[in-house]
Structure 1
């Protein structure tokens, strides 16, 4: 997911996307703990997407939108 795509979404969509990613991250952590994780590279992608969403949300709050 690109930051430019995220900037086109409104705050509600960003919050929804963030919640979905956090849930997916939690599920992956549980799989890793159980030794059933099939795609360990997914961790870094999800973590970076979460950071992108939080960055866009912070930019908007600082700008006063």
Structure 2
């Protein structure tokens, strides 16, 4: 199980790496939702952590996009 992403770790990633990280987190979020719906979810706090990690990645991507303009 991965712990939450540090902001500094996300900031050093390239745009492509950041996009891949967000995609992986979205897949994990889908799987967690599916596990919750079927009653198989063990670690309920992981849902919150993944959701916040996605938000961190999106925030950094948005910041970079605004700097480019």
Q: TM-score, normalised by structure 1?
A: 0.96
Alignment size in residue pairs? 65
Q: Which runs of 4+ in 1 moved over 3 A?
A: none
Task: Output aligned runs, 1:1-65, within 5 Å.
Answer: 1-64=5-68
Offset at residue 3 of structure 1 (A): 1.1
SS of match in other structure, 2:40: coil
CA RMSD of aligned residues (A): 1.0
User: Aligned equivalents of 1:52 and 1:2: distance in 2?
Assistant: 9
Q: TM-score, normalised by structure 2?
A: 0.91
User: Aligned equivalents of 2:66 and 2:7: distance in 1?
Assistant: 17
Unaligned runs of 5+ in 1: none
User: Aligned equivalents of 2:9 and 2:32: distance in 1?
Assistant: 25
Unaligned runs of 5+ in 2: none
User: Aligned equivalents of 2:12 and 2:47: distance in 1?
Assistant: 25
